[in-house]
Each structure stands twice: as structure tokens, then as C-alpha cells.
Amino acid sequence: MLAADDLATSAKQETSCRFSGDATREELNRLVPHDYGQRLVSLFIKYVWPALPLISRSQMGLTPSCSIPEPWALERTPVHLLAAVYASALPFAAHDDYLCVLQTYNAPPADRLWRMAYELISEEIHTPHLAVLQTALLYLHRPLDEARASIADTPFVWSFVGTIVGLAESLGLHIECRMWGIPAWEKRLRRRLWWAIYAEDKWRSLLMGRPPYIHRSEWDVSELDGADFLYHTRGASSSSSGVHQPQDPVPFRYLVDLSGIAEQIYESF
């Protein structure tokens, strides 16, 4: 890993695939204004997060009584991650009283948002942060149109899973982090991300007939528990008054448990 992101500028240019214009925050804000984006994030938390808890609610400034982020939270979120969150939530816009009307007249182009996410992944992969990994996982789960959903995945999908696993290991997600001196929200996020990647690897290797990238002897992250789904009110200390225990994202917990069974099935043949 490079000591400074600026050292990889030339490498980023080599793998850049931004042929459709600059994927900048200005363009993202033009496609999805803040008032629209705030509600999309709220929809993401409600409908996507229980199955894919890939973002930190604490870092978005969310609380049990406030599920809509403030503009400052959107501005400090990397463009690629925000574009992927917006695009993931767009299919649920009909469930918001405000967005369902706007969607009729001026719906943001989901394809362009996903393209922005991918273009920036291809650059930021040289200096990866957790946001790159979060974006890549969401991109892997992007909704497909009816024609593409009815055919088998191309080799790109399995290759992209390998890229995600490589990113995770470069960031040390395969190592237990609960004893590390990093913020509590990051520990929770890192652990959830690892188990999400583990699930992707096991299910896709089983369904696609590929040898898995992740092997039991090469990681030591403990199983998920309720502490991995806590979140703190912004500005609160680590005391219990600032900690909230929401309902566990049951679909994700079930997916992870079933992934372990999938691994056993794969290894038995």
C-alpha cells in the first residue's frame, strides 16, 4: 500500500475508463440534488441495508428518530459510494411520497449512476479505502434489466468477485479487528464488510462452479453478533446514552449463516 494517495496518480490514469465525462461531485449533485439524495439514502437504509448492511449509519449521521441524513453527510461521502447508494435505492422511490412524484417527471438515470461508480472504482482501486470496497459490493448487486437477468452471468462477475476479495485482503478485513485502536463504527463496518464478501465468495463459487477465493485457514474474523449492528449518535461518547441497539438485519444474518453451509456443501464434493 502506498503511503500517500497522490503517489498513484499516474497509475489511476492508466486504468481510468471515464469516457462518458468526468464523474465528479458536481455531476452527481446535478443528477441527484440533495433533497432527492437525502430521501434515497433513507430508502436505502429501509429497504437495502437489512440485506446488505454495507454503509455506516453513524457516519451518515442517522439516528433511530432521524433516518434522513443532513446535507453535510452527503458531501463528505465519496462520490462513487454515494452514486452506488443512490442507484441501489432508486427502485424503491415509489415508496416515498415525495420521490414517487418526482420520479414520474424527472427520474435520475440509474445507468449513469452505476457507470460513475464503476469508473471511479477503476481509478480508486490503486489507493483503496473502505468506500471503494463498499461501492464494489453494491455494484455487484446492481439491478439488471429483464434481458440480462434471464441469462447466465458473464466471466466478468466472478473476476470482479476476485477483485473485491483482493481489495478486502489489502485493507486487512480478513483479520479480526476488535482489538484494534480504530473507531468503533469502523470496526463494525469492517466486520460486516468481511462477512458480506465471504457470503459472495461462497454462494457464487457454489452456483458458478468455481473454486472459492477465500479459504478457512487464511482469516480469523469472529462471527457476527448484535454488537456489529449498533450505532452511535453523532457527537456522542462511547457511553450507553449515545449507543442505539436497532433490530438486527435478519436477512443478512441468515445469508451469512447459510453461506457457511454452502461452504460445507462445496467442500464435501
Beta-strand ranges (E) seen in the chain are 231-232, 243-244
C-alpha cell at 190: 469492517
Its pTM stands at 0.87
CA distances from 58 to 73, 88, 114 (A): 10, 19, 24
- Confidence label for 239 from pLDDT (cuts 50, 70 and 90): very low
In tens, the pLDDT along 179-195 reads: 999 999 999 999 999 99
- Confidence label for 266 from pLDDT (cuts 50, 70 and 90): confident
- One-letter amino acid at 205 equals S
In tens, the pLDDT along 100-139 reads: 888 777 777 899 999 999 999 999 998 889 999 999 999 9
20 beta partners: none
What residue ranges do the domains of the chain occupy? 22-143+153-268
Angle at 43 between CA 20 and CA 184, to 5 degrees: 95
Please state the φ and ψ torsions of residue 114, each to the nearest 5 degrees. Answer: -65, -35
